Amino acid sequence: MATTTSSRPAAGRMAAVNEMTRLLRLLFEVEREFLRTVTTLVYRVGEPELKYLICQHAWESAGHARFLRERGRELSTFGTTDTVRDSIRRVFVEAVGTGTADPLKITAGFYHVLKPAMLAAYKHYLKVTDPLADWPSKKLVEEFIADEERHLREIAPYLKGVEAREWETHLTQALDDLGGWLGHETRLPLATNYVWQQTKTPYTHPETCNRGKYPVCSSIFGMDPTEDPIVRPWLTDPKTDARVIRLMVYVWLMMEMDAIDYLATAFIDTPDAPFDLHHDLTRHLWDESRHSQFGFRQLPKLGVDLMTVEQSLELYNILIQMPAHERYAMMTMEFEAGSFPTKAHVMDRVRELNDFEADTLLAFDRNDEQNHVRFGHRWLPEMMAQFGETRPVEEFVKATQEKFKEVAKIHGNKTPHSLPKEKRLTGDKILKLAGVN
């Protein structure tokens, strides 16, 4: 008896859609896990431009994951949760390495093994899908392929001469065991003597962040113009020349590098957080990266030698002693929320200079910071839940503020000046650079 169309199983009728949905789901999980783990590189690499680039790539991966999920949910069988299967997560966690590993070798693992495999997966998707029936997915994937190819080009100068063959082979073997991210390649099972690094030496955050060749100190804020570049009373003193305030605020913006470093630690510590939380955290990270670049790029234009600007490590050194939900509470509910009055005054003073570029950078900084505080109100309760914290948010924030003060007594002010005050940028030197007698 012939089988009629109406009697075919639904799965058979939708087989073509289901197969493409399965691949989209895998791509979503890979992109999601990439941004959760590649962020561990941010505070371990030392070159500011490399930190900025990794933040940018993480943000673009967050966008890929978001649109893959949006497209996937238009199709059947994609699923309603954001979970990542253990087989994919294990490879990315392995790629993180240990907290003491050479950060450039770890970076090479991500960009010479995992990212090329991601590019290959996207190209496979284009090859096997129907270009007309699956046109929405096709257009997305074409854009993501262009991004992945650009990421590999952008990272290449930073990895030139890095010898990471053994580590790359180790990660390649882990990926080959899956048959590639989509399982479309010949699977090569792991050798019986393969040792997962994560089981032998679980990852822990380094006690301090890496700033490469740049001089460091505990803090760039102070009261003494012969010692510190940002003299707190000068920021709000109406007698301070606006040119001095502009230079000081660019130093302040460049030092949002510390926000990049300690915020980046939150991703690996929250493996079960909703994707939307990680998406907004990645936006927050990319924003702080751009703000730091404001100062990094503008200070030399105003005559500042960046090798005279000590970079502050204080906040990372303190906050890394606290769990991720407490770090996030201090960042959004204390540091950022508390900065608005001073920054508003600074913006008004800088406007006296008719410096359109400075006005623009400060306006976008303020707009972004307002969004970050909104992120905090939205996501701090969820982050608290991830750590089993049940106190009301207001009570938790107050307790965390007090805890920060206590931790600071132990771990704060531990980084000596790399440069003598004769060589480092100070308030007095800013006066001279600004042409103020």
- What integer best gives the mean pLDDT of the chain? 95
- Residue-wise pLDDT for 371-380, tens only, equals 999 999 999 9
Could you give the percent of the chain with pLDDT greater than 70? 97
Q: Is the pLDDT of residue 280 over 50?
A: yes
- Residue-wise pLDDT for 341-379, tens only, equals 999 999 999 999 999 999 999 999 999 999 999 999 999
Which CATH code for domain 15-200? 1.20.1260.10
Inter-residue contact 405 to 398 (CB < 8 Å): no
Exposure pattern of 85-103 as b/e (b: 16+ CB <10 Å)?
eeebbbbbbbbbbeeebeb
Q: Is the pLDDT of residue 2 over 90?
A: no
Q: Find the length of the chain.
A: 437
What is the residue type of 70? E
pLDDT at residue 88, rounded to an integer:
97
Distance CA 421, CA 425 (A): 7
pLDDT at residue 321, rounded to an integer:
97
Extents of the domains making up the chain = 15-200, 216-433
Distance CA 358, CA 242 (A): 12
Q: Is the pLDDT of residue 294 over 90?
A: yes
Angle at which helices 48-72 and 275-301 cross, to 10°:
150
Q: Which pLDDT band, with edges at 50, 70 and 90, does 253 fall under?
A: very high
Q: What's the rounded mean pLDDT across residues 253-274?
A: 96
Could you give the percent of the chain with pLDDT greater than 90? 92
Angle at which helices 115-128 and 15-38 cross, to 10°:
160
Q: Is the pLDDT of residue 15 over 90?
A: no
Higher pLDDT, 422 or 4: 422
pLDDT at residue 5, rounded to an integer:
47
pLDDT at residue 9, rounded to an integer:
60
What is the residue type of 375? F
Point out which residues pair with 221 in neighbouring strands.
230
Point out which residues pair with 215 in neighbouring strands.
none
In degrees, to the nearest 5, what angle opens at C-alpha 273 toward C-alphas 268 and 278?
70
Distance CA 308, CA 422 (A): 10
* Nearest CA among 55, 15, 7, 12 for reference residue 35: 55
Classify 231 as helix, strand or coil: strand
* Nearest CA among 328, 298, 297, 296 for reference residue 315: 328
Distance CA 228, CA 368 (A): 27
pLDDT at residue 11, rounded to an integer:
65
Q: Is the pLDDT of residue 14 over 90?
A: no
pLDDT at residue 153, rounded to an integer:
98
Q: What's the rounded mean pLDDT across residues 405-424?
A: 96
Q: Is the pLDDT of residue 397 over 80?
A: yes
Q: Is the pLDDT of residue 171 over 70?
A: yes
CA terminus-to-terminus distance, the chain: 100
The values of phi and psi at residue 216, to 5°, are -130, 165
Q: Is the pLDDT of residue 168 over 90?
A: yes
> Sign of dihedral through CA atoms 236, 242, 247, 250?
positive
What's the burial of 407, exposed, middle or buried (CB within 10 Å: 0-12/13-18/19+)?
middle
Q: Which pLDDT band, with edges at 50, 70 and 90, does 8 fall under?
A: low
Q: Which pLDDT band, with edges at 50, 70 and 90, does 3 fall under?
A: very low
What is the residue type of 282? T
pLDDT at residue 49, rounded to an integer:
97
Distance CA 278, CA 328 (A): 12
The values of phi and psi at residue 239, to 5°, are -80, -15
Distance CA 209, CA 46 (A): 8
- Residue-wise pLDDT for 80-101, tens only, equals 999 999 999 999 999 999 878 9
What is the residue type of 322? M
pLDDT at residue 74, rounded to an integer:
94
